[in-house]
Amino acid sequence: MWDFSTEPEFQERLDWAERFVRDECEAMDLLFPGGGAPYDVGDAAARAHLAPLREVVKEQGLWACHLPPELGGRGYGQLKLGLLNEILGRSHWAPTVFGTAAPDTGNAEILALFGSEEQKERYLQPLLDGEIVSCFSMTEPQGGSDPLEFTTSARRDGEEWVIDGEKWFSSNARYASFFIVMAVTDPEAEPHRRMSQLIVPAEARGLEIVRNVATFAESEALDEGTHAYVRYDGVRVPLDHMLGGPGDGFKVAQARLGGGRIHHAMRTVGRCRRAFDMMCERAVSRRTKGSSLADKESVQAFIADSLIELEGFRLLVLQAAWTIDNKPHGAARTLIAMCKVQMAKVEQNILERAVHLHGSLGTTRELPLAEWWSRTPHMALVDGPTEVHRRTVAKGALRDREPAPGLFPTEHIPTRLAALRERGAAAAEAGR
């Protein structure tokens, strides 16, 4: 049974976080705009502004809450993390201020789970301290996010791994101090044992950022984006830079995805909530044709449909989070996939209505709506395209289903009536 209530002590933390994000993190969005701004550790002005905010978050005990207590986190389950990430989703800078920015969160988790003590000291601790950022280099130009199509390889040569291949859309590569690379180490193995993950320092010889790719939510300049086309040309790393063992690439990757998808989804809820609030404010502020926008039936439909979709999606994500916390491993798989399918759809619908309701102003950079809206196609692709997750949902729904026992469906009325008559006749016969 899922209890909808939140512990009073944790609710106080959430209330504080909401005030802090509105007052401080949203201010950073205005002062230091740009998709890559939170990851640019070389921006002295932004880092000077960021440092004291992080200290305040640490004093409140809310720094890097996704981590276990032994790594400085609070040991919160996914439900509490989801509620916190709903608030962080209001601001582009908030995850960095709170030490929960992707892909650093997932990279930190797999370093904590699979890294050696030396790897943790060199890569994990600076990441946890917010001194550096990292890159997860997985997808490829010819294979997208399907690992079975990957061709980037790592072969052993003495005491080193030699990496060759190309990766596409490696987030924050231009700012990263190290890359976690998924590469084929045994092409003859069964599909889910072909790959491994290796740590590659940014300064490694042969690592080349071919170009930084801008999405249409970022700069118009072709080479000013935050996602990179990366080439690995004979890149050498020591044998001890592998995470897990050879062939463990899938296992390592899965360790970072479940909770991350919950956080993505709840941040989307927070962003949509902010857009919904803007929509409502616009409706009661603007007049046309002799009355308030709020009096127009089409606007009321916008408001109603948006709120219904938002609250339904929020409950779905929280149910998935609760299931992760309370049920056996893997029980939430279908729910997580459902969240992934709905995430981009709900965000697209709400933001489109919000932009439309604000008229020409909604399409400009003078409001955040246009930028948010332009990012929605990306949300349908993050962590795998929506179509892949629809397939997961369908397979989960059909897994334990049984065929109809006879010629007609189980709910076939004549068949059910015949069975009832037969049961009644048998009962009458038994009562004689």
Please report the pLDDT score of residue 210 as a whole number: 95
Distance in angstroms (rounded) separating the CA atoms of residues 84 and 90 = 11
Q: What is the DSSP code (8-state) at residue 140?
A: B
The C-alpha torsion from 396 through 402 and 403 to 409, rounded to 10°, is -100
Q: Are 124 and 111 in contact (CB under 8 A)?
A: yes
Residues 6+ apart with CB under 8 A from 192: 250
Tokens of 388: 């892949």
Indicate the SS3 state at residue 217: coil
Q: What residue ranges of the chain have pLDDT lower than 70?
A: 1-3, 219-223, 256-258, 432
Determine the pLDDT at residue 424: 86
Per-residue model confidence (pLDDT) at position 225: 83
Cα(188)–Cα(239) distance, rounded to whole angstroms?
A: 20
Q: 3-state DSSP call for residue 143?
A: coil
pLDDT given at position 369: 95
Domains and their CATH numbers in the chain:
8-101 (no CATH), 134-246 (2.40.110.10), 257-398 (1.20.140.10)
Token output for 397: 């729904």
What distance in Å separates the CA atoms of residue 203 and residue 54, rounded to the nearest whole number?
Answer: 28
Determine the pLDDT at residue 223: 62
What DSSP string describes 17-41? HHHHIIIIIHHHHHHS-STTGGG-T
